[in-house]
């Protein structure tokens, strides 16, 4: 084959992606809203550890208990077990408040019922930052389809931020329920194929590994690999993938939306 045919043409070159900015730090309270136990532990918990170290508050709200996530355990067995693992996992990165909303794992529906539950959670916790998981159709790289639970909870979380601030939406009887909250300034989407910002993962890396390792029952059902080796290998790879766009630093990437 002639040498010139082996060279990339301009049309074949991938466009250079812009660098990732540092995440804003001018906030005090965060609320993470995801579908399942372990959703935050596949990367985002390293950022959470860094935030709690800095004295910031963070609470977790999970739409489901992950009860359909382990093939060898019935939902009745798996649900309580995964809730316990999630609470231990949250504690490993300094999070004390974990709530489960009881939506059915695997078949979470986008709609007003989900938006209402998430809006009320935002009103209860009154965060300035909401963190959620990838709401897009695919994961980074575009070759792996995202699950309905992730898409539906992520999209509902984005919508619930506005719902929470509107006193005429999901209003209860006068004097009952939390007051409207329009103080969310940022929504950060972890695992997005369109990241814009990142947090240095180095300070929180070891606690992120420990946090993921708390989901031992789930991990042991997922892989034959040693659980600790699996957790370290996965997280180190994910964090290293952020480095080329983040000044060479391993990081946790987010797609950041500003609400004002």
Instruction: Spell out the per-residue pLDDT of the chain, length 260, in tens.
Output: 333 434 444 555 666 889 999 999 999 999 999 999 999 999 899 999 999 999 999 999 999 999 999 999 999 999 999 999 999 999 999 999 999 999 999 999 999 999 999 999 999 999 999 999 999 999 998 889 999 999 999 999 999 999 999 999 998 777 778 999 999 999 999 999 999 999 999 999 999 999 999 999 999 999 999 999 999 999 999 999 999 999 999 999 999 999 97
SS3 115: helix
User: What are the tokens at 17?
Assistant: 């992606």
Q: Which residues contact 71 (CB under 8 A, 6 or more apart)?
A: 221
pLDDT of amino acid 3: 39
d(CA 85, CA 221): 14
Render the burial of 220-239: b for 16+ CB within 10 Å, e for the rest.
eeeeeeebeebbbebbeebb
pLDDT of amino acid 13: 62
pLDDT of amino acid 10: 53
**Share in percent of the chain as helix, strand, coil (round to 5):** 40, 15, 45
Domain ranges of the chain: 26-258
pLDDT of amino acid 14: 60
Block residue for tokens 């300070």:
203
CATH value of 26-258 in 3.40.50.300, 2.60.40.1120, 1.10.10.60, 3.40.50.10320 = 3.40.50.10320
d(CA 61, CA 114): 12
Could you tell me if residue 94 is left (phi over 0), alpha (psi between -120 and 50 degrees) or otherwise beta?
Answer: left
d(CA 226, CA 223): 8
Q: Decide: 132 and 60 in contact? Cβ < 8 Å.
A: no
User: What are the tokens at 193?
Assistant: 């194929």
């Amino acid at each position: 084959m002639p040498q010139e045919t082996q060279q990339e043409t301009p049309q074949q070159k991938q466009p250079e992606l812009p660098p990732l900015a540092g995440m804003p730090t001018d906030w005090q309270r965060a609320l993470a809203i995801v579908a399942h136990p372990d959703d935050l532990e596949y990367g985002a918990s390293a950022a959470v550890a860094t935030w709690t170290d800095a004295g910031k508050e963070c609470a977790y709200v999970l739409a489901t208990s992950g009860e359909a996530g382990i093939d060898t355990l019935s939902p009745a067995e798996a649900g309580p077990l995964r809730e316990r693992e999630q609470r231990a996992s949250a504690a490993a990165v300094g999070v004390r408040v974990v709530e489960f909303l009881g939506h059915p794992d695997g078949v979470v529906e986008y709609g007003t019922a989900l938006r209402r539950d998430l809006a009320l959670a935002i009103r209860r916790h009154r965060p300035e930052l909401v963190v959620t998981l990838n709401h897009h159709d695919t994961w980074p790289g575009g070759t792996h389809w995202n699950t309905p639970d992730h898409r539906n909870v992520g999209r509902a979380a984005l919508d619930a931020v506005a719902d929470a601030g509107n006193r005429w939406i999901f209003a209860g009887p006068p004097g009952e329920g939390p007051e409207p909250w329009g103080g969310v300034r940022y929504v950060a989407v972890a695992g997005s194929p369109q990241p814009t910002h990142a947090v240095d993962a180095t300070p929180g890396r070891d606690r992120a590994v420990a946090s993921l390792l708390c989901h031992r029952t789930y991990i042991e059902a997922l892989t034959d690999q040693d659980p600790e080796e699996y957790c370290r290998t996965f997280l180190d790879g994910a964090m290293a993938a952020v480095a080329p766009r983040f000044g060479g630093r391993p990081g946790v990437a987010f797609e950041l939306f500003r609400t004002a």
